Amino acid sequence: MAKIHVTATVNGDEVEFLCELEETLLDVLRDELHLTGSKEGCASGDCGACSVMLDGRLVCACLVLGVEMEGRSVETIEAMAAGDELHPLQQKFLEHAALQCGICTPGILVAAKALLEKKPDPTETEVRFWLAGNLCRCTGYDKIIRAVLDAAAEMRVS
Amino acid sequence: MPRVFLSGNLKKLAGGAEEIDVEAADIRQLLRVLGERFPDMRPHLEQGIAVAVDGEIYQDGWLEPIAPDSEVHLLPRLGGG
Amino acid sequence: MSTAEKLENGKFKWVGTRPVRPDGVDKVTGRARFGADLFLPGMLVGRVLRSPHAHARIKSIDTSKAEALPGVKAVVTRDDFKEMPSESVAAGEMMIDYRDMTRNIMAREKVLYDGHAVAAVAAASASVARKALKLIKVEYEVLPHVIGVIEAMEPGAPVLHEAMFTEGVEPTPDTPSNIAARNELGRGDVEAGFKKADIILERTFDTAPVHQGYIENHACVASVSEDGKAELWCSTQGHYMVRAFCAKLLGMDISDLRVTASEIGGGFGGKTIVYLEPVALVLSQKAHHPVKMVMTREEVFRATGPTSGANVWVKLGATKDGKITAAEAVLKYQAGAFPGSPVGPGCMCAFAPYDIENVKVVGYDVVSNRPKVAAYRAPGAPISEYAVECVVDELAEKLGLDPIELRLKNAAKEGTQAAYGPKFGPIGFVETLEAAKSHPHYNAPLGPNQGRGVASGFWFNIGGESCATININEDGTAQLMVGTPDIGGSRASMAMMAAEELGIDLDKVNPVIGDTGSLGFSFLTGGSRVTFATGKAVIVAAGNVITDLRERAAKIWDIPVDAVEWEDGFARPTSSNAGEFDPLSLADIAAMAAKTGGPIAGHAQINAQGAAPGFGTHIVDVEVDKETGRVTVLRYTVIQDAGKAIHPSYVEGQYQGGAAQGIGWALNEEYVYGEDGRMQNTGFLDYRMPVASDLPMIDTQIIEVPNPNHPYGVRGVGETPLVPAMGAVACAVEHALGTRLNELPMSPPRVLKAIGAIGEAQA
């Protein structure tokens, strides 16, 4: 089967790739572009480990086909820090020990950033429901929620 | 002489004895003597068991000393997730 | 200052603080490389064909069409794995038989569960690999199957292994069955004990099998060279264990296989054995290319983990004032397709928290057509202790006693003879109960349809073999290498202990996980052993570095080594008699290393003994929606003895994560099987683990009763937090409902059924 040629913007850069019809955006990111920060935990949109921003909207990369990417723009965890400067969410996750194994962390950070862009002052309940699509098996979510709330508070000040 | 307590399958292999005296100054000697006295117990001893000497649990701790008044319990090998 | 003095004064520089973990930035930027994140030149994609039947004889496998498909580089089946004699080895929590292991990674005579591997391919791309799997023809003779533990024990149940005769029964049965073994432990005289009781409760419990639920699927990359040497990269809790298993299964010399542990995305016991790794090695050997294999979530559910589903009968007798006089239990645990459930530790732990004179516990290890169980966080203990804690709670209710008071009356203390045999050393169980009793949570008011549960838990914790190396670099920084994969932040605590011992800044210590070619054997990350056992190795290695540093300072100053002491990161003369010298820092001495004998290093290879048990007590409040049967967890508090918390944030994290897993086990998680014996909920949508909106904040309180066998008093903390959770949640739900369910999970349908039962009883 012939592969499809796709041109898309990934983390601000124009990239071209060839992809099979059945390949997902997550397959393309990981296997073609070797951007492995987005993780596959389920490939069915249930765990959120592959959360990315697609044209400014939070999606699971495993639920988007690679061929749908033509002309579109995706942002992944790899673009979250600005040079040496970690995003406040990344910094707060470190300070709060909001990760143990760290496999869910990229997806949760991308999802949390999307939340704070929509809603700079979320309640604990809002954070919990927003992140309900991001599974974490290690932490019990406590420190994750605290880190997000703390980052939100800091971002409001600055 | 150290007192050795057996339970479960090891107790059965020792002819039902729950408590026996074994002349041993360390865990290696204890296992050797038990194996000689109860040959059927040998596979269990070789597969690896845990030995508690006065409450302290040792695994593969051949050289750990056993005092004449020690209380020794043989347990299944312990692991974890 | 010596460690003892530091402990006395609490004047640690690093131990007990909360620094950012050394691998943290890589984990928040997506840079950390997990099992599926490695790409090698020329790498192929490996995939596994799995059985669609729960139980079937394999009549034939025809791979010729798959082999002929362009892009397919290798196909393997049972014929590519040699028969292994029956031989047991200690692996993780259980003994593993290589005869079973080779059959579990690739079915031989029969498939024993839905998802059992029957063939595998290596191909140029994932799509070619998938097509190739469809071209493999397997002819099955489908056999009757059995899933549940009670059904599997019944006479006439389909038998999985025709040569399995129950061990531990006299005389050995002459007909095969699914009961692999019976074991028994106990002491005293339970009949006499029950005669002394004013009240006796007998209850039976069922628990559903649950999966460890790590978010990272199993993954590995294998590369076998033409000279027989091989490299393997994989997500595992123990790469030395992977090396040993694979070398054995493939008939390799251990030194020819170099295993590197990737970052690991959760394990909880489920990554203590091999599935893909030996298959990837054989594929790579045949294909002459590196081969990457990654499971899908569906494969993880169908073919890995889980822990046992079980049936537990508990009988407790007590006097009117709440002293337990006798305790008896019968545990029936699913082992999955091959023998080896954690029923042994389940038996030992069942009554471990309590000082009971007369105890008898019988356990049955039962095979059925499910994946072979793997260790899961305190394997065996959560099931039996859940059942016992529920009966303890009911006992308190019936006697009109506070459940914590009842536990305090019976709690094990230092010197108590544990139900499983030996006497306890210093333990912190009573401290957790006292802390729970006086916790504001325990005394807060409850609303309508709300209930509070409290339960306790025990787990052994283990030590074992660990290596550690500290190389002092030319600039005075320290390279720390250990062999236990870091799942939950252990590099932080290892580096903190090294910095504490050496007296240098934490950011001067760079901890890494060594591969099997770089460091000697280390047992796996499991049994809550790393901070204790590998930590002890780090402390010994640091001590050896200090010995070396003192010798170097003695040479620099030209005085005897006895006249040099190491204090807070500096070599100093022990007294002015030794001479007047300015203190030398570690960096000063490192800079002179070449002149004083070469590089400076310290190594340790130990078998750490003296792991001390963990005890915890949980308090939970729930609210039950009587219309939908949904249980909401309102408030949760974990109190547990850590001995000494090296990095308190990660200790708290273990407490919180364990509680969350327990909440999942208690309320929602279970395997659903169809009539055909196939698992029906093979995804996270239907296998319902707790999500953020299901849980409240989880409060923690760290109790510190030091373990005398660790320089800082560390005891393992990783597994115990799961143990009390199901009991606590179950009691909370039952108090809210006013009736007992005695069954997990307490999912909405079961809650509604229980409420219906109440309604009928009242009507």
List subunits contacting chain C, requiring 3 or more Cβ pairs under 8 Å: A, B
**Chains B and C touch, using 3 or more CB pairs below 8 Å:** yes
Provide the shortest C-alpha distance from residue C30 to chain A (in Å): 4
Which among A34, A102, A140 has the least Cβ separation from residue C698? A140
Q: Examine the fold and report which residue of C560, C585, C608 is the final residue of a domain before the chain moves on.
A: C608
Structural domain includes residue C211? no
Question: Are C693 and A34 an interchain contact pair (Cβ–Cβ within 8 Å)?
Answer: no
Sign of CA dihedral A83, A89, A90, A94: positive
At C757, the pLDDT band (50, 70, 90 cuts) reads low
Q: Do C127 and A132 touch (CB under 8 A)?
A: no
What pLDDT does residue B49 have?
85
Burial class (CB in 10 A: 0-12, 13-18, 19+), C153: middle
Answer yes or no: do C751 and C637 share one domain.
Answer: yes
Taking contacts as CB-CB distances below 8 angstroms, the residues of chain C near A49 are 215
Question: Is pLDDT above 70 for C763?
Answer: no
From B7, B55, B71, residue closest to C186, measured CB to CB: B7
- Residue B10 in domain: yes
> What percent of chain C has a predicted confidence (pLDDT) above 90?
94
Is C269 in Cβ contact with B80 (below 8 Å)?
A: yes
pLDDT score for C91: 57
Q: pLDDT digits over A128-145, tens only?
A: 999 999 999 999 999 999
Residue C489 domain boundaries = 3-32+463-608
Whether C376 has its CB under 8 Å from any CB of chain B: the answer is: yes
Instruction: Please indicate, yes or no, if residue B49 is contained in any of the structural domains.
Output: yes
Specify the 3-state DSSP secondary structure of C604: strand
Mutate to test the interface with C, among B11, B44, B57 (most CBs of C within 10 A): B57
Judge whether A24 and A64 are in contact, CB under 8 Å: yes
CATH of the domain at B15: 3.10.20.30
Contact B73 C93 (CB under 8 A): no
- Nearest Cβ partner for C421 among B9, B73, B81: B73
Residues C671 and C760 in one domain: yes
| pLDDT exceeds 50 at position C609 | yes
- C653 inside 8 A of chain A by CB: yes
Residues A93-102 pLDDT 10s? 999 999 999 9
Q: What is the mean pLDDT of residues C124-150?
A: 97
Residue C526 near chain B (CB below 8 Å) = yes
Q: Is residue C189 part of a domain?
A: no
Cα–Cα distance for residue pair B22/C358, rounded to 1 Å:
25
Residue C639 C-alpha, separation from nearest chain B C-alpha, in angstroms: 21
Interface list for chain B against chain C, based on CB atoms closer than 8 Å: 5, 7-9, 12, 18, 47-48, 52, 54-61, 64, 71, 73-81
Q: Rounded to the nearest 10 degrees, how much is the dihedral formed by the CA atoms of C720, C723, C725, C730? A: -170
**In-domain check, residue B81:** no
Same domain, C596 and C626: no
Are both A30 and A53 inside the same structural domain? yes
User: Would C415 be classed as within a structural domain?
Assistant: no
| Contacts B40 to C, Cβ<8 Å | none
| Residues of C (476-505) whose Cβ lies below 8 Å from B | none
Structure-token match 């791309």, residue found: C125
- Same domain for C139 and C55, yes or no, is yes
Residue C564 has phi, psi (to 5 degrees) of -115, 130
Instruction: Say if residue A70 is in the same domain as residue A99.
Output: no
DSSP assignment letter at C129: H
Number of structural domains, chain C?
A: 3
The answer to whether A86 contacts C37, with C-beta atoms less than 8 Å apart, is no
Chains A and B touch (3+ CB pairs under 8 A): no
Q: How many domains does chain B have?
A: 1
Residues of A in Cβ contact (< 8 Å) with C660: 137, 139-141
**Which range (B6-10, C77-81, C117-121) has the least confidence?**
B6-10
- pLDDT tens digits, A76-91: 999 999 999 999 999 9
Is the per-residue pLDDT at A7 higher than 70?
Answer: yes
Chain B partners of C376 at a C-beta cutoff of 8 Å?
A: 81
CA separation for the pair C321, A74 (Å, rounded): 67
- Pick C30's closest partner by Cβ from A37, A127, A135: A37
**Contact residues on chain C for A31, CB-CB shorter than 8 A:** 126
C window 604-623, beta carbon within 8 A of B:
607, 609-611
Q: How many CB pairs under 8 A join B and C?
A: 113
Q: Would you state the pLDDT for residue B43?
A: 83
Let me know whether C255 and C113 are in one domain: yes
- Domain check: are A74 and A21 in the same one? yes
Are C483 and C598 members of one domain?
A: yes
Partner A contacted by C250 (CB < 8 A): no
Residue B37 domain boundaries:
3-76
- Residue C342 structure tokens: 């954690």
Q: Which residue has the higher pLDDT, C760 or C513?
A: C513
Same domain, C453 and C564: no
Question: Considering the domain boundaries, does residue C720 fall inside one?
Answer: yes
Confidence of residue C94 (pLDDT cuts 50, 70, 90): low
For residues A117 and A66, state if they share a domain: no
Residues of A in contact with C264 (CB under 8 A): 101
Query: Smallest CA–CA separation between B66 and chain C, in Å?
Result: 14
Rg (CA), chain A: 16
Nearest to B47 among C95, C270, C344 (CB): C95
Q: Please judge whether C379 and B52 are an interchain contact, meaning their C-beta atoms are less than 8 angstroms apart.
A: no
Q: Is the predicted pLDDT of residue C40 greater than 60, yes or no?
A: yes
Q: Record the tokens describing residue B45, joined without a space.
A: 């001893």
Query: Is the domain of C599 the same as that of C660?
Result: no
Q: Same structural domain for residues A150 and A125?
A: yes
Q: Which chains touch A (3 or more CB pairs under 8 A)?
A: C
C529 contacts in B (CB within 8 Å)? 80
Q: What is the pLDDT of residue B77?
A: 84
Residue C268, chain A, CB below 8 Å: the answer is yes
Counts for chain B of helices (H) and strands (E), in that order: 3, 5
Answer yes or no: do C487 and A90 touch at CB < 8 A.
no
Residue C468, both tokens: 């550690």
Q: Please check whether residue C216 touches A, CB under 8 A.
A: yes
- In the structure, what pLDDT confidence band is assigned to residue C759 with cuts at 50, 70 and 90? low
Write down which residue in A36, A59, A79 finishes a domain: A79
Chain C residue with the nearest C-alpha to that of A88: C28
> Looking at the structure, do residues C631 and C644 belong to the same domain, yes or no?
yes
CA distances from C386 to C359, C542, C725 (A): 17, 41, 8
Q: pLDDT tens-digit profile of C208-264? A: 999 999 999 999 999 999 999 999 999 999 999 999 999 999 999 999 999 999 999
Contact C345/B at CB under 8 A:
yes
The residue among C417 and B10 whose pLDDT is bigger is C417
Q: Do C691 and A132 touch (CB under 8 A)?
A: yes
CB C551 within 8 A of CB C558: no
**Distance between CA atoms of residues C694 and C678, nearest Å:** 28
Residue type (1 letter), C346: G
pLDDT digits (tens, 9 = 90+) for C729-740: 999 999 999 999
- Of A31, A78, A135, which is closest to C684 when you measure between CB atoms? A135
E strands, C522-660, are 564-567, 570-573, 584-585, 600-608, 614-624, 631-641
Find residues 59-98 of chain A whose CB sits inside 8 Å of chain C: 76-78, 80-81, 86, 90, 93-97
- Among C590, C608, C626, give the residue marking a domain's end: C608
Work out the minimum CA distance from C224 to partner chain A, whole angstroms.
22
pLDDT > 90? residue A158? no
Residues 6+ apart with CB under 8 A from C446: C452, C621
SS (H, E, C) C343-388: HHHHHHHHCCCECCCCEEEEEEEEECCCCCCCCCCCCCHHHHHHHH
The verdict on residue C184 lying in a domain is no
Over its C-alpha atoms, chain C yields an Rg (Å, rounded) of 27
Q: C172 or C129: which carries more pLDDT confidence? A: C129
Is residue B56, in this structure, part of any structural domain at all?
A: yes
Is the pLDDT assigned to residue C497 strictly greater than 90?
A: yes
Residue type, C501: E
Q: How far is B63 from chain C (nearest CA, A)?
A: 11
Report yes or no on B70 lying in a domain. Answer: yes
pLDDT, position C388? 98
Q: What band does C93 get if pLDDT is binned at 50, 70 and 90?
A: very low
Tell me which residue range forms the domain holding A94. 88-157
Query: Which CATH number goes with the domain that contains A138?
Result: 1.10.150.120
For position C711, which CATH number holds? 3.30.365.10
Output the pLDDT for position C2: 65
Mutate to test the interface with A, among C29, C635, C654 (most CBs of A within 10 A): C29
- 8 Å CB contact of C216 and A103: yes
Nearest to A77 among C30, C294, C689 (CB): C30
- Residues within 8 A of A (CB atoms), C 429-458 only: none
CA-nearest residue to A37 within chain C is C30
Residues 19-48 of C with CB under 8 A from A: 20-21, 23-25, 27-34, 36-37, 39
Q: Is residue C618 part of a domain?
A: yes
Asked if pLDDT for residue C434 goes beyond 80, the answer is: yes
Task: Report whether pLDDT(C760) > 70.
Answer: no
Chain C residue with CA closest to A1: the answer is C127
